[in-house]
Amino acid sequence: MSRDSDRNTTAVVIGGGPAGLMAAEALADAGVAVTLYDRMPSLGRKLLMAGRGGLNLTHGEDTSRFLARYGTAEAHLRPAIEAFPPVDLRAWSEKLGQPTFVGSSGRVFPKSMKASPLLRAWLRRLDSKGVRVALRHAWKGWDARGRLLFAGADGIETSVEAAVTVLALGGASWPKLGSDGGWADILRREGFAVSALRPANCGFVAGWSEMFRDRFAGQPLKRIALSFDGQTLRGEAMISRYGLEGGGIYALSKALREAIDRSGAAVLMIDILPDMPASDLAGKLDAPRGKQSLSTFLRKAANLTPAAIGLAQEVTRGGFGRLAPAAMAALLKAMPVSLTAAAPIERAISTAGGLPFDELDANFMLRGKPGVFAAGEMLDWEAPTGGYLLQACFATGLAAGRAAAAWVKAKA
């Protein structure tokens, strides 16, 4: 069933995440009447999920280093981020009654650490600015007359006339929160070359034995160093039932994913004791073991955790204890873990792929659809965790909203 809408509106924003909310605010600030549509029963669900462990809004490092985090997308994102840099995002948060602080790692958080107070204040402000919200409306594309099509919770389609549209539909990670990537097929049908959506900042599959998986899933590997493809970083990892996840893994996820795409596997090297030279470690492991079990000896001699010992046994197929002390030390300093696939996109923190920048002009307007703009994670960029993801979503949402406001006013 379908019906025509009597709700003609000047501007439509589709997607109620950070990019969409920022675009709606920019349009409202410019005096443009705007309605925000979202398929979920409430707004900002992924933002709330991101804030469960502390809402990492942005990062405090210098601009050049900050922008380099976006890799090949840096040139495309630079104008938007320079127009709304981290210092402006922090000021914006403070105006919502959520002052921020810089943590020891350089990450920026609201002092409350939570997303919910910020989101509530933001939605109240949008309401005061006249932003209308239509929930439980799933976008289905355009009809033959170029009107936007939405399916309501009742299954009935609604056509909406819009002078300008901002698409902020997110990626495909955590689809139960709203962004399921279904927009990609809609845009492909319209002739846009949308890159395949892939997991980013994700865990990876390792072929653990059943014994190792059952015993160590959920246990951390702390204060380790991880190396792959010329990159080495300090961090942590978590042993999962399917493989490895955690901050250190996420930071290398782009390189690991691309290597697996090329070769079918990637060998990650883990230094279990990065602060101890191999020679010193070999000396400790060369001490008499006496009647101690191997695990007890390794725990006392080298301060190894059960998870680290288990991993050493796993990669040597139970033969770690038969190695000479120097070989044990060498393995603990460069433990090879073969990874064979990225974890499913549904479990990823963010998404790579999406609408290429070649399909957009400098103002984030789709080249093949005048008056339609796009922003946020649905664009083809990726970045590590640490505040870079949200910063780019906020900045591109603001840029697209401002450009959309200018476009509709120029056409008036």
Same domain, 224 and 267: yes
Q: Quick count: other Cβ atoms within 10 Å of Cβ 317?
A: 8
Please give the share of the chain, as a percent, with pLDDT higher than 70. Answer: 98
Same domain, 129 and 215: no
DSSP codes of every residue in 322-334: GS-HHHHHHHHHS
Same domain, 71 and 127: yes
Residue 401 main-chain phi, psi, to 5 deg: -65, -40
Give, for 33, the enclosing helix (H) or strand (E).
none
Same domain, 298 and 382: no
- Candidates 230, 234, 326; CA nearest to 280 is 326
pLDDT at residue 4 greater than cutoff 50: no
Distance CA 386, CA 48 (A): 16
Same domain, 188 and 46: yes
- pTM for the full predicted model: 0.92
Average pLDDT over residues 81-104: 97
Alpha carbon of residue 341 to chain centroid? 18
Distance CA 125, CA 144 (A): 36
Distance CA 389, CA 383 (A): 6
- Strands (E) across 100-213 are located at 100-102, 107-110, 132-134, 138-142, 148-151, 157-160, 162-167, 195-200, 204-205
* pLDDT of 2: 37
pLDDT at residue 366 greater than cutoff 90: yes
Q: Which of 342, 364, 396 is the last residue of a domain?
A: 342
Residue with tokens 């963010």: 350
pLDDT digits (tens, 9 = 90+) for 167-211: 999 999 999 999 999 999 999 999 999 999 999 999 999 999 999
pLDDT digits (tens, 9 = 90+) for 99-124: 999 999 999 999 999 999 999 999 99
Same domain, 316 and 263: yes
- Strands (E) across 64-175 are located at 100-102, 107-110, 132-134, 138-142, 148-151, 157-160, 162-167
Please give the share of the chain, as a percent, with pLDDT higher than 90. Answer: 94
Same domain, 267 and 150: no
When pLDDT is cut at 50, 70 and 90, the band that residue 3 belongs to is: very low
Same domain, 211 and 192: no
Average pLDDT over residues 62-86: 96
pLDDT at residue 1 greater than cutoff 80: no
When pLDDT is cut at 50, 70 and 90, the band that residue 215 belongs to is: very high
Distance CA 187, CA 68 (A): 29
* pLDDT of 53: 83
Question: For 355-373, what is the HEC assignment?
Answer: ECHHHECCCCEECCCCCEE
pLDDT digits (tens, 9 = 90+) for 18-40: 999 999 999 999 999 999 999 99
The number of domains in the chain is 2
8 A C-beta contact, residue 184 and residue 354 = yes
Residue with tokens 């936007």: 148
pLDDT digits (tens, 9 = 90+) for 125-146: 999 999 999 999 999 999 999 9
**DSSP structure class, residue 180:** -
Q: Which domain holds residue 163?
A: 2-199+351-411
Q: Which of 342, 365, 385 is the last residue of a domain?
A: 342
Q: Which of 317, 342, 367 is the last residue of a domain?
A: 342
Residue 42 main-chain phi, psi, to 5 deg: -155, 165
* pLDDT of 8: 54
Strand order in the sheet with 58-59: 58-59, 107-110, 100-102
Same domain, 80 and 94: yes
Q: Tell me how long the chain is.
A: 412
Give the tokens for residue 197: 């959506």
Q: Domain holding 393: CATH number? A: 3.50.50.60
pLDDT at residue 82 greater than cutoff 70: yes
Same domain, 102 and 182: yes
pLDDT digits (tens, 9 = 90+) for 38-65: 999 999 999 999 888 899 999 999 999 9
Same domain, 163 and 44: yes
Distance CA 365, CA 375 (A): 9
Same domain, 46 and 187: yes
